[in-house]
Amino acid sequence: MVTIANSNDSQSDISCAQAIEVFEKLNYYFVDEPVIANHKRAPVWLGILIAFAYSMVIIFGAFGNVLTIFIVLRNKSMRTVQNFFIINLALGDFMICTITAPITFFNISFTFWKYGNALCKFVSSIGGFNIFLSTFSITAIALDRYFLVIFPTQQQRQKFFSIVLFALIWIISLLLSIPIVIVSSSTMFYEVEYCNLTLYLCNENELAWEKMPFSKLSYTISIIVIHYAFPIVSMVFAYTKIASRMHERFVHRNNTKLIGEDANNRRKHVAERQRRTNFLLASLVLLFAVAWLPFNIFHMLLSLKVITYSGTLFALCHLMGMMSACLNPVCYAFFNQNFRNELFIILHKLKLRKISNVNVVNKNDYSATVKRSTIGNTNNLHHKSVSTVIMPDNSLKISVDNKSKNRSISECTPDTIPMVPISSHQSTTEVTTSLVEDEKIVGEGEIEVLFE
């Protein structure tokens, strides 16, 4: 027989079978009828909605991040140091979507733990590690772009700085996860020996925290500063400097020799481009800040004991952060022209789009055929890739000399699309492209526009 205290503190004896049945029901967080009075639970319909939300995160997040990694790795010309930060971010987000998300939903849905102490430590710490890896990758991308734009001539230093950042991302993420490994454990919650009934909880052990050289509150505050505040400050600093530098160069290019209507169109084009760039840079900061704000506030209030733990509230805050992992491939990869080019090629190969194999296309339904070539001279062995677009009627062809950046332009209408070298890092491979504007042509290998 086992004795269980009810809400009125009276005692009632029940059989082992009844006790097992009661505790099995207590294991579920999403139930319509609480087994014990005043026991916090959530309705089943809410559990279904949360399960659906996590499923969408897993499906779309995993697909987008795997596609990002595949696009970079399949094209040798895109395997640059800068793009490996994108891979690092995509890898972290992929693990968030495929490991952290399902584990978190499982822990919310079920109260008791049946899988041992080692696995408890792993699942408790891997979530934090994946989140650290993702957020630090976002920070590294911002800082790497800052050095790429502000110091374009110091390529060796840029490469060294990028390698150091890449190593620090993994080292710091691992170090910050170690305390969670130490304090997390599978602890016995209830045991009835003669009924063969033992219930365990997988959580952070308060006694283990007391043995640590720092308190749980100080660790939580440190994590919020390192994982949330520092990335925001770094992104604001880096992207503000980038926007300012790009604005200066847009203004400089605006001093064109064109007169009349051409000059006005040029100024409007530059102003619109500047607005779009500023909007995208601001969006990157806001996406991160908004997505992870509820999650960090929840943990801060929980550590300060202002609130008690709520599985529903935690799930909502956690899902907000998971949305960042789903949207990062869009913001950091598919806004990039080269990624869109490669995606276009993949869609063609999968026969998701019909392409004409001829160079002459009609006005109503046309596609852009891109050819790659190398240009150079006998004095310069460096080659650059040049894209040529063949458009209907009034067409535009721009070829860029590797050294002088001279442009030869034929007839041009407002709808024509000038094509330029894909990247100073790229070798000769076939690509297809839709929009690369001539502001990308900058001096001596400097990449100015990073998001198009």
The tens digit of pLDDT for each residue in 361-376 reads 444 444 443 333 333 3
Q: Which of 167-176, 262-271, 426-435 has the highest mean pLDDT?
A: 167-176
Domains of the chain, earliest start first: 16-349 (1.20.1070.10)
Greater model confidence, 238 or 384 = 238
pLDDT of residue 26: 85
pLDDT of residue 253: 64
Is the pLDDT at 240 greater than 70, yes or no? yes
pLDDT of residue 13: 57
User: What does the angle CA 426 – CA 383 – CA 442 come to, to the nearest 5 degrees?
Assistant: 70
* CB 100, CB 126: distance < 8 Å: yes
Q: How many CB atoms lie within 10 A of CB 100?
A: 26
pLDDT of residue 258: 52
Which of 420, 355, 358 lies closest to 387, judged by CA? Answer: 420
Confidence of residue 271 (pLDDT cuts 50, 70, 90): confident
Its pTM surpasses 0.85: no
Q: Please state which of the ranges 5-9, 26-30, 258-262 shows the lowest mean pLDDT.
A: 5-9
Distance (Å) of CA 447 to CA 79, 80, 165? 16, 13, 20
Position of tokens 């080019």? 341
Phi and psi (nearest 5°) for 203? -155, -175
Amino acid at 72: V
- Distance from CA of residue 365 to its chain's centroid? 35
Element (H, E) at 388: strand 380-389
Confidence of residue 419 (pLDDT cuts 50, 70, 90): very low
- CA trace torsion 41, 47, 53, 57 (10° rounding): 80
Is the pLDDT at 382 greater than 50, yes or no? no
The tens digit of pLDDT for each residue in 328-352 reads 988 887 777 778 888 888 878 776 5
pLDDT of residue 57: 94
Is the pLDDT at 402 greater than 80, yes or no? no
262-293 b/e (C-beta count within 10 Å ≥ 16 → b): eeeeebebbeebbeebbebbeebbebbbebbe
Q: Please state which of the ranges 40-49, 305-314, 382-391 shows the lowest mean pLDDT.
A: 382-391
